[in-house]
Chain A
Amino acid sequence: MSVAAPAASYAFKTTNLTRSFAGFKAVNDVSIEIPRGGVRTIIGPNGAGKTTFFNLLSGLLPPSNGHVFFEERDITDLDPYRRARLGIARSFQITNIFNKLTVYENVRLAVQANYDGKANFFLPTRRMGDLHARTAEILRDIGLFDVSGGLAENLSHGDQRRLEIGLVLARDPQVLLLDEPLAGMSPTETHATVELIQRISPGRTILLVEHDIDVVMSISTTITVMQTGQILAVGTPDEIRANEAVQRAYLGGLA
């Protein structure tokens, strides 16, 4: 151990993290460190507690017990908007965008959130630096620049999922929590989205919950396997593939 306090080596750390729903422990006494950087994927059968774990990290749910740390800081009691300001951004399993607003307004609002509490919101946006330039940049990044005048609800499912990633990117977050970003996508859309995730991953930590096992094996730095609210195994894709406990519990017929 070095003498000087190092910058946190982990993005998230949890200690004895537990969340019960009417006695059922969806996340059960999880103590884990999620290292900085890379694509960290969480897999597990339905009901394993993956989404609940995400909800505890992002603050949607308070834990029943235990703590969540983000880069040495205890964020257990922090409201989601404060976590967002620390650089934690998340997407949801069910697409979560502003349906009745235009694609442009969706992204602009996400970028504008960076100025909440800093700029006077009763004055025109031109005082918010490069708000529009940054919005356009993100729209190009997610490939929706040309359709930005249309309502978000009129986008295809895949485009909506990508729009949500765009919203999540607007704060230039250090950590992204993506909950099944590929769910319901066509092969073409999946390909484009995987490419997008790989493109934005350098310099960031990406936490992924995903069921598409081929994608998981190809883009993950490490894989965490959850089962009945607990961590079953952590390792590189190859290690996980070779892990007998994981094979028994989950991969079974798939691998």
Chain B
Amino acid sequence: MKSRRAAPWITLVAIAAGLILLPLFMPGGSLDLNPLSGNRFPFHAGFIDLATTVLVFALFALGFNMLFGHSGELSFGHAMFFSIGAYAPALYTKGFKVDIAGLHLHHDATNNGFIALVLALGFVLLWAFLLARLIVPRSSGIYYSMITMAFAQVIYFITFRWSELTGGEDGIQGIARPVLPGLPANWLANSTHFYIFTAVVAFVAIAANYWIVRSPFGSVLHALRENRQRARFLGYDVNRYRVNAFVLSALFPAVGGWLWTYLQQAINPDAGGIDYSGRVVMMSLLGGIGTFVGPMIGAFVYWDIQNSVAQQWKYWPAALGAVFVVFVLAAPAGIAGAFVAFQRYGFANSIRRLFSREARLETDLAEELPAREGGP
């Protein structure tokens, strides 16, 4: 009676397995089972920072997808939350001294990663809430995308221009990684350790996201995506849901930004640029918009292509563009969507559907029949 979905724990176990195995699938990644290598973790750590990068962007895409994939609203400025989530901990950790409007603001360098996280989330929460209250009642569709982009540019130029606080174009360097309670002070300096730390944080965030999109709240988001007017006439306070979806979707890029700062131990204005806002759209579409794991797969594929091609060919974005075009034309539902199609229509039929309208009609009909059986 209810739709076919995997049990929650299966999805979460699969995601945990994915997080553990991810480093092996990065270029240069391999198992290191030689007991004499002195490596306490069974990975070759050459590209493990790239795996960490994938997770950071997976979180970014996860938040973006909650808005675009689940509630159907395209924000073209989600990098602003990534950027705020990155700068807040960077400034908190490095300290700053600024004079603004006669006030002398001063903060000494500190090193508490969890307060940094609270700050990242807090600033993003506040900014996203104010922004959503401003734009949600006034815009939708393309205007919504344009306004989010405009506000992202505001954040971008603040980080770019306010050199005194943000270091301007050069950004902030030399940010110490946090110290975890009960572990040696430089434990997180090791790439593998930092990957483990990131994977644990990512798992918690992914599970939280999964909980949200499957909750009754998530169902309402799907209703908004499908038919906002119908939802409104059923008695849903549509704008309240749109504001909440916007704010919640901003928190995941904030967590991503927080990790990004510590991963690179540096941050610059690019993190909030149009390029990053666009990248997350690309990752999500590539992986499969609206599916749960799709955007995370997209982040993986994006970085894998970038890194394997970039070493051979300096025009690597062209390769990425080609892959993107192929997906948009042939598999608009993305990689995850293609797997759903294989499961639903079988592999051969899915390929036939790409090329023949008749095959599409035929397989749609076969799909429809079970639903009609035993009807009135």
Contact = CB atoms under 8 A, between A and B. Distances in A.
Interface of A: 58, 60, 79-81, 84-85, 89-90, 96-102, 104-105, 108-110, 112-117, 119, 121-125, 128, 143-144, 146-151, 154-155, 159, 167, 170-171, 192
Nearest to A159: B375
A177 B216 CA distance: 27
Contact of A171 (B1, B211, B220, B234): B234
A250 to B, nearest CB: 29
Contact of B230 (A96, A147, A149, A171): A96
Contact of B235 (A102, A128, A171): A171
Contacts of B371: 147, 149-151, 154-155
B305 interface: no
Interface stretch (B20-28, B221-229, B260-268): B221-229
B220 A58 contact: no
Contacts of B375: 144, 146-147, 159
Contacts of A60: 229, 233
A117 B237 contact: yes
B141 interface: no
Given A90-B233, A149-B3, 4 more contacts: A60-B233, A80-B232, A81-B237, A150-B372
B367 interface: yes
5 contacts: A58-B233, A80-B232, A84-B232, A84-B235, A110-B234
A170 B217 CA distance: 18
B223 A98 contact: yes
Given A122-B212, A149-B2, A112 B220 contact: yes
Interface string B11-53: 0000000000000000000000000000000000000000000
B235 A114 contact: yes
Contacts of B184: none
B219 to A, nearest CB: 6
A109 B215 contact: no
A112 B237 CA distance: 12
Interface string B237-249: 1100000000000
Nearest to A128: B216
A105 B376 contact: no
Q: Could you say which of A79, A98, A115, A147 has the most chain B C-beta atoms within 10 Å of its C-beta?
A: A98
A189 to B, nearest CB: 10
B316 to A, nearest CB: 36
Interface of B: 1-3, 211-212, 215-217, 219-220, 222-223, 226-227, 229-238, 367-368, 370-376
B230 A81 contact: no
Interchain residue pairs A-B with the least CB separation, the first 10? A150-B371, A84-B235, A121-B217, A98-B226, A113-B234, A113-B235, A143-B376, A146-B374, A121-B216, A154-B368
B223 A109 contact: yes
Nearest to B212: A122
Q: Could you say which of B226, B227, B233 has the most chain A C-beta atoms within 10 Å of its C-beta?
A: B233
Contacts of A125: 216
A23 B187 CA distance: 74
Contact of A149 (B1, B232, B238): B1
A89 B230 CA distance: 11
Contacts of B233: 58, 60, 80-81, 84, 89-90, 96
A46 B290 CA distance: 41
Contact of B234 (A104, A123, A146, A170): A170
A150 B376 CA distance: 14
Nearest to A173: B235
B271 to A, nearest CB: 30
A123 B235 CA distance: 20
Contacts of B229: 60, 96
A90 B229 CA distance: 11
B234 A84 contact: yes
Contact of B215 (A79, A117, A122, A144): A122
Contact of A98 (B216, B230, B367): B230
B216 A81 contact: no
B232 to A, nearest CB: 5
A104 B372 CA distance: 14
A124 B2 contact: no
B234 A167 contact: yes
Nearest to A112: B216
A142 to B, nearest CB: 9
Nearest to B238: A81
A99 B226 contact: yes
A170 B236 CA distance: 13
A100 B234 CA distance: 17
A116 B236 contact: yes
Given A101-B223, A121-B216, A147 B372 contact: yes
B215 A124 contact: yes
Nearest to B244: A121
B222 A101 contact: yes
Contacts of B238: 81
Contacts of A104: 1-3
A146 B376 contact: yes
A121 B234 contact: no
B196 to A, nearest CB: 29
A90 B230 CA distance: 9
Contacts of A192: 376
Contacts of A105: 3, 219, 222
A116 B3 contact: no
Contacts of B374: 146-147
Contacts of B3: 102, 104-105, 149
Contacts of B237: 81, 116-117
B1 A121 contact: no
Given A146-B376, A154-B367, A154-B368, A98 B227 contact: yes
Q: Could you say which of B227, B238, B367 has the most chain A C-beta atoms within 10 Å of its C-beta?
A: B227
